[in-house]
Structure 1
Amino acid sequence: MGVESLIQYVRTSSVRTDIIGSLCPRAKATNELLSAVTASESAIYDALSNLEGRGLVTSMDDGWQLTGTGRLVADTIHRQHRLEELFAVAPQYWESHDTSVLPQPFRCRLPELDEYTVVRGTQTDINRPVREVVTRVESVSSCDVVSPVYHPEYEAAMPDNADSRLVVSCAVIDEILGKESVSLDTNRYEETTVRVTPVPYALAVADDWMILTLPELDGAWPSAKIVSEADSAILWARDLFAHLWEDATPIETYLADR
């Protein structure tokens, strides 16, 4: 039986799922396990026998523990639960926005956004998402920002200091360079380091928050933004920014090659 089949086997029974979850992260004495799982003793013993037969748990003198395979199945089920929790907060957002623009390792880590809110514009306050970004960016001394589109309010709010970094989409720079009536101000930031790379999503991260903007499935650039102040979300955003920053081109080098 393959790993996916084992996961499906466990998840089709709440008793089996609870047993696997209860034994992760540590083994339990039989009496402790019986108290931890909400089911009859006969149902628990029957599930344990079946799980042992499939190599997911093993009995000890005084209890039960996960096998190596059982641990992997438990970890996968835990990730699935967290992903389901992520969707449950704002299902319509995830249905209509393109997560494929994120690198695969970071898509897998999306449940790390943890507690988040989706900030949208309304009929009475259409600029709410923009104001959310500007207010947060203006309130910090430094931050890292990824900008796939040009927005003058964001540019004005961006801190100018050695602790701030900005990644700008190639498309933004190329569009400005292609307009004879507009000149590119390469001295806009005296200290903030600027790099250029193709990027289809927006990101801003500071010590206490992160903001993510994904395009809609039809390619339209949305106003809705994901905002989180969870430590795990901030770490996710910092790692994503570092991943992008590493391969981005310094703006001076990019312009010299145009």
Structure 2
Amino acid sequence: MSKNYKKHQAYIAGRDKMKVAVITGASRGIGEAIAKALAEDGYSLALGARSVDRLEKIAKELSEKHGVEVFYDYLDVSKPESVEEFARKTLAHFGDVDVVVANAGLGYFGRLEELTEEQFHEMIEVNLLGVWRTIKAFLNSLKRTGGVAIVVTSDVSARLLPYGGGYVATKWAARALVRTFQIENPDVRFFELRPGAVDTYFGGSKAGKPKEQGYLKPEEVAEAVKYLLRLPKDVRVEELMLRSIYQKPEY
């Protein structure tokens, strides 16, 4: 029996025990909360964001606290070459991945005619093309592992929001991407996670807002991700919308 064969068998055995999750926009907010939640469940992690210093701190904390392996690197999903490089390094490090959480996103708000071309293009690059690039980069690996792709959109991915039309348009489009990816790739499970207002720094706001103002906490969104990933492999949840009980129900 060759050494290479034994090495390959050991790798396969290790893969059966180790689950690897990729998370974009992982340096704070929902992405950071998901990273912490999955580390608690024993996932090895590949974290990407533009704030590498924050990623380094998170990686150290999770490795020491949960004993999981954490790879991190710079990632700007608005740049094709950045996504490709991050995916290349991640796959070289872990071999394959089981979960991809496309979480990176941004928003500019105001009347449609007040948005600048630059603002609209930036939202399209991150919220739409960033999702497409991320899933595309890891799709073959997810097919090999029978994995899961979770795309974090918003509760406005299927409704309208005055003074948020540009942001809403990108989330509707991202919703269409998720469904098309699912139809074309039935061997991978695609989940659209649709949180309502969340207490983060999103849109330039400050974190620490009272729950009574209608905001979920990032940790509550992360718990939903843990729930989705604990389901049997023959269960596909195509979308999950969650909002604070203090947020007005709008559809």
- TM-score bracket relative to the smaller structure: under 0.3
Higher-Rg member (1/2):
1
TM-score (norm 1): 0.23
The two structures have a TM-score, normalised by structure 2, of 0.23
